[in-house]
Amino acid sequence: MDVSVIIVNWNTKDLLQNCIESVYQQAGDIQYEIIVVDNASSDGSAGMVTKNFQHVTLIRNSQNRGFAAANNQGMAIAKGRYVLLLNSDTVVLDGGIAKTVSFADTDPQAAVVGCRVLNPDTTLQPTCFMFPSLLNLFLSSTYLYKLFPNGKFFGREQMTWWSGDEAREVDVVSGCFMLVRRKAIELVGMMDAQYFMYAEETDWCYRFKKAGLKVVFAPVAQIIHFKGASTVQRSADMVIQLRLSILRFFRKHHCAFVYGIACLLTALFFAIRVPAWLFIGLLGRKRHAEAAVKTRAYLTGIRKILFRPCSS
């Protein structure tokens, strides 16, 4: 078995069906299996898989266990020499999985390989990132990365200055399409299930790099990613979850002093955005509901960080 394709799903029934169909149609000339881990969806996703895809292995969870834990469930039964973490809101294009496997086979030190990820309008979606640092946290907290996205310094965290048209070693590739070598997993272990959602792939890539292995972006294949299809269902919660997951990374991999500064910078991230969204909400009705949700989320984030900084 070349690849075990693991798809974690939460209430994205129609997108999940399109994703699985695209794997069957566009995987390429390889031996593969598909494992779907359903995180207690209420939209009939699991029933759709059982009815329409008899050859797909389905794991049904009775509760939403989060992205990392669900992927670990899939990896525990995977048979492939690679595992491919693939978001349910993606569509594989033009033999993309086989092309990525062929690239990975040329470099035994590559623990992780990512591909080109496109928005639905075919523009490039940034999917390569630097590891979290106090500098990167400051740039994202102060909006400087948005003001100067094409500069190598200000756009460093999300590599927004880069066109993504050549293969290169990077710190992190997005978990929406993440081909991982089984031998590398056996060396460093599976994902850290303490991350419910967000930053779990960052933590994993960090551990691979610390073990002397590579994380590589390779534009040999493409997918379309309908970004945030499941997280939009709980947008306010996810805004907070992303930042708290980054803080978990700091707490796990850095000293208490650095973690404390990261907490303050994250509080600054929320504090700067509260008046901005209040102003947007006052401009008119069109974005009033969105502004209300974002404002509540950022205020909640400040409260969680400043009053419970060690429990995030």
Cα distances from 42 to residues 115, 207, 227, 258, 290, in angstroms, run 31, 35, 20, 41, 24
Residue ranges per structural domain of the chain: 3-124+163-225, 231-307
Q: For the chain, what percent of residues have pLDDT higher than 70?
A: 96
Q: Check: pTM over 0.75? Answer yes or no.
A: yes
What is the sign, positive or negative, of the torsion defined by CA atoms of 7, 9, 13, 14?
negative
Specify the CATH architecture of the domain 3-124+163-225. Alpha-Beta Complex (3.90)
- 235: confidence class by pLDDT, cuts 50, 70, 90: low
The per-residue pLDDT for range 31-78, each reduced to its tens digit, is 999 999 999 999 999 999 999 999 999 999 999 999 999 999 999 999
Cβ-contact 133, 126 below 8 angstroms: no
The per-residue pLDDT for range 97-116, each reduced to its tens digit, is 999 999 999 999 999 999 99
Cβ-contact 129, 170 below 8 angstroms: yes
